[in-house]
Amino acid sequence: GGPAVLLESPEDGGGRREASAEPPARRYRLRDGCWVFCALLVCFADGASDLWLAAHYYVRGQRWWFGLTLLFVLLPSLVVQMLSLRWFVYDFAASTKDSGGGTKDSGPRGCCRLCVWLLQGLIHLLQLGQVWLYLRTLYLGLQSRWQAEHRRRHFYWRMMFESADISMLRLLEAFLKSAPQLVLQLSIMVQQNNIEPLQGLSASASLVSLAWMIASYQKVLRDSREDKMPMSYKGAVVQILWHLFTIAARAIAFALFASVFQLYFGIFIVTHWCIMTFWIIQGETDFCMSKWEEIIYNMVVGIIYIFCWFNVKEGRSRYRMCIYYIITLSENAALTILWFLYYDRKTTSDFNALILVCVVSSSFALGIFFMFIYYCLLHPNGPIFSHRSVGCIFRQAPPPVPGSPVEAVTSPPRSLPRTTGGEREGAPGERDSCVPVFQVRPCAPPAPAARAPRTEGPVIRIDLPRKKYPAWDAHFIDRRLRKTILALEYASPTTPRLQYRTPGAPQEVLEYETTV
């Protein structure tokens, strides 16, 4: 019932399809390994600080705070571990069936597989599934540096799949665990009018984990897409600062309001989540492989939208982002003002209250400042916000031409030309003569003329239209596709190119009917 996949070689006519010239393949760098190692440290610090704080509450007899802190650690972790274990079971069972031909294993081979099952069960029982994935990503990345050319590409491809898995799992865990934990600990600090070292450590680790995972997710997603420029590490760091300050302002406003209006805070959160989820659903996102998975994904993104902006649909994201931040600013101001009017004067002085209000406003302003820094200086496509300001505000990129090289994917070797500023602006004279305020401007000299299309080498053709950014490609989401591609890639003497079906080309439909 899945999409048809066909591997074509030069001997069976695969070379007749047009493909783009192939530049040198991207290599795994040491800075990539350092980034993954830092992400592992952030993950460990977030979980360890929460457990330490929960034990601290228990020892002091604060059973209510202990129960809530532990609940926000264990429940999201169990959900994420179950999803991670489900992915492992599918991948390992499928690989065992393919290699063993469905026969019962015996001897050393069957004993090794039993050990793998026991090891993975123990790892996920101890809630260390993400740690294992981070270590495996590091291993595969380093192997891609040390192996020969063909093996290097194979390990790099597998490393990208593992990076996609850990990014999706950690993003889910961050907003199910770290976000409510941050609001809870800030609310306790406000109610007690005191900041204990462990509370500050736990809140800081949760905040850094949230900001890190959003930036890391966007970086891995861009690295996996052949039609997008990769995000630099400078851009990722600035994006971390952008989300860190905006989420900090949001969480402090939530904590202040919740310390006085607990019931109304719950009503506000549920209402905001419902509105955001409906907004996302009506945008018709294209992330998952089925309708119900798409609805669940939209509900999870609705939780993310409680705290920060998260782009889920291709198009004029600046319009949606501006609307979101205007709503967020209004909500932060309303929540903070209501707290300032009704807070307990016996426990909090007016001076301290004014400081908290200033912290909320200045943190949000700093976050917006770093957002402009990212879009003006460090966006992968070049500066997005221009200093010119008359007439037109946005310019929309022209739709891709059917059959263009954008429909082809080559990973790990990046064989597609990246989207440049000139390509997005369109031809002069297509629109009004007014100068746009927001535009994509080329940050590098124009690329030289394209070379003749490469026609040799195998092609893996997938009978699906390619998903639009910011969705993952189907071979990252559908594990059946991933398994098939890895098997074909491993058996091929040279790394094959991926090619999705071009929409609106009826002559290709007949070609895809003959599949393997």
Of 194, 221, 252, the last residue of a domain is 194
CA 103 to chain centre: 39
**What is the 8-class DSSP label of residue 437?**
S
Domain total of the chain: 2
Spatial CA neighbour of 178 closest among 140, 208, 144, 201: 208
162: in domain? yes
Q: Which two tokens stand for residue 225?
A: 């897409």
* 313-321 contacts, C-beta under 8 A, 24 or more apart: 313/283, 313/284, 313/285, 313/470, 314/468, 314/469, 314/470, 315/396, 316/394, 316/396, 318/384, 318/394, 318/438, 319/394
pLDDT at 148: 75
pLDDT > 90: percent of the chain: 50
282: in domain? no
| C-alpha to C-alpha distance for 375 and 395, rounded to whole angstroms | 16
| C-alpha to C-alpha distance for 191 and 283, rounded to whole angstroms | 40
76: in domain? yes
pLDDT at 14: 41
Residue 329: C-alpha distances to residues 102, 182, 311, 324 (Å): 58, 19, 18, 9
Of 194, 222, 240, the last residue of a domain is 194
| C-alpha to C-alpha distance for 311 and 321, rounded to whole angstroms | 8
Of 127, 162, 194, the last residue of a domain is 194
255: in domain? no
Full residue range of the structural domain in which residue 31 is found: 26-98+112-194
pLDDT at 514: 39
Q: What share of the chain is helix, strand, coil (3-state, %, to 5)?
A: 65, 5, 30
295: in domain? no
91: in domain? yes
| Region of residue 491 (phi > 0: left; psi between -120 and 50: alpha; otherwise: beta) | alpha
| C-alpha to C-alpha distance for 486 and 478, rounded to whole angstroms | 13
In order along its 516 residues, the chain shows pLDDT tens digits of 566 666 665 444 443 333 333 333 567 888 999 999 999 999 999 999 999 999 999 999 999 999 999 999 999 999 999 999 999 998 887 766 655 544 455 566 778 888 999 999 999 999 999 999 999 999 999 998 888 777 788 888 899 999 999 999 999 999 999 999 999 999 999 988 888 999 999 999 999 999 999 999 999 999 998 888 899 999 999 999 999 999 999 999 999 999 999 999 999 999 999 999 999 988 888 888 788 888 889 999 999 999 999 998 877 788 889 999 999 999 999 999 999 999 988 888 899 999 999 999 999 999 999 999 999 999 998 887 655 433 333 344 445 444 444 445 544 444 333 344 444 344 334 434 444 444 444 444 444 443 344 445 688 888 888 888 888 998 898 888 888 888 887 787 777 888 888 776 555 444 444 343
128: in domain? yes
Spatial CA neighbour of 457 closest among 499, 495, 416, 425: 495
260: in domain? no
